[in-house]
Structure 1
Amino acid sequence: MNVLDFARAFFEDNAHWHGYDGIPTRLLEHLGYSLEALVLAAVIALPVGLITGHLGRGGNAIALVATAARALPSFGLLVLMFFWLGFGVLPVMIPLVVLAVPPILVTAYEAIRSVDPSPVDAARGMGLTETRILFQVELPVALPVILGGLRTAAVQIVSTATIAAYVSFGGLGRYIIDGLYQKDYAKVVGGATLVAGMALATLVLFWALSRLVVSPGVRRSS
């Protein structure tokens, strides 16, 4: 059997569409882990990136933190957190958040720093506070790049959240881990196909979000 045959066998099996191990349940679990990790990473990284970018300070520190975080192996960190913290959602969230913080942090910083200083100076001359300058002048212009960082982080999380299955959590990784253990290659291919499809759907979602929240003038200039 080739890959297409394995995939067809997996998706045509009605048993894979019902129950606690069904595709809808595993998709929701995977989506839950991914969304929670993305929100946590954004809460951590976005304020730091926006503020440091606005102030024009801390660029070297951000680059250092991002490089160090990218160097950490997600699976190794998962195993370490599992033995340190025990069973629970926290050992799963930590590697995913560490993976997602660098692209969000770096792109937020660089996006604000790349804004044309002319409108910023004009807003400052009109007496706008630094907070209003950041959110009303810089952020709308920097939004496409910031969304690009969030998109990169989201795709990385969706692709890597399969490691949750290694510590007995759910998600689409269950099909891959269980399929390898059972030598059920249709299940392995089906799980990998679902993860790839979810990553592509994430790209489409962020494209639609960009069309919705970024002004047409900024999109054209970008």
Structure 2
Amino acid sequence: MDTITLVTGGNKGIGRETARRLKQAGHTVLIGARDPERGRAAAAELGVGLVHLDVTDQTSVDAAAARVRAEHGRLDVLINNAAVNSVVAPLERTTAQDAAAVLDANLLGALRVTNAFVPLLRSSQHPRIVNVSSTVGSFAATLEHDMFDWQVVPPVYAISKTALTMLTLKYSRALPGILVNAADPGYTETDLNDRQGTQTVTEGSDAIVHLATLGDDGPTGTFVNRDGTVAW
């Protein structure tokens, strides 16, 4: 039986590479894209399906879930990858409105998509959810590496990823029978960091692909990177 996999924000960066690798592994891959034109181009190049999906728009999310239900009847793997890094400023110069926009995409986007697709995941024999978080949201890593320079680690982005990791843990207990884990791609060269990352997108997708292909005896409620467990 095919493994039906949805990657949000799958038209570029780590999401696109994740989609490519999982298709290569035999999955039937759908990429969710907010921009229809970019989404169509990426889907055509990758040879995967396309679902119009804006994670900040409940109507868009609900329509995407309805389409996947109509076309596939279930979802086996959900990868919440879509994220923004739109506020690069010190906290004292960050407005609540700007911060809310980041949290809306990076945290509430994952909540909207997960809740919309849980019924489809429950129709799967091997359901998996992978939330793409980040070590910059880890308390331990922030303290250990003194990551307080806002020019290096945008604070609102870090806060959104801290919350996403906790959301992952909460879902892992709320959704028995579904393996729910968080992946840290590492500092990867993408548009989110103006191509400053030191890893390739293939290296950045390692942990995501690992969690997306866990066996039935795999863990739930974990936070890992390509080298192992990330300290929370």
TM-score (norm 1): 0.29
Q: Between Structure 1 and Structure 2, whose CA radius of gyration is higher?
A: 1
User: Which structure has greater helix proportion?
Assistant: 1
TM-score (norm 2): 0.28
User: Which structure has greater strand proportion?
Assistant: 2
